[in-house]
Amino acid sequence: QVQLVESGGGSVQAGGSLRLSCAASGISINTYSMGWFRQAPGKAREAVAALDNEGTPSYADSVKGRFTISRDNAENTLYLEMNSLKVEDTAMYYCAADRVEWWKLLRPSLYNNWGQGTQVTVSS
């Protein structure tokens, strides 16, 4: 079965950086759409960034220019490089995988395979 394991979260000050990783098993990530999503307490889960199976990225407007999504096919791992972090980026970050068309990549409801999440906390 599909297993996604996130790591790399932590606590940083505003303006800092973190790199999240999502190690996948049970699938080859270059044949799936893969995404990063986040959920803050009391808020709905929202998209952060995603890659289609060809590696074309999509980003939420709130993170464009600050976050970069990438993948290493050999390691079967998805990454999220987060720079210039803001307090409002504080959330649980989740990795997800599914066969999603490129124009729907940022819709969390279309993903059926999820990791357990990694917490990112940004302080002022």
Other CB atoms within 10 A of residue 38 CB: 23
Q: What is the mean pLDDT of the chain?
A: 97
Question: What per-residue confidence (pLDDT) applies to 95?
Answer: 98
What are 83's two structure tokens?
């720079």
| Host H or E run for residue 59 | strand 57-59
Q: Which single residue is written with the structure tokens 């932590």? A: 10
pLDDT attached to residue 90? 98
| Mean pLDDT confidence for 14-31 | 97
Q: Is the dihedral of CA 29, 77, 39, 14 positive or negative?
A: negative
Work out the percent of the chain whose per-residue pLDDT is above 70. Answer: 100
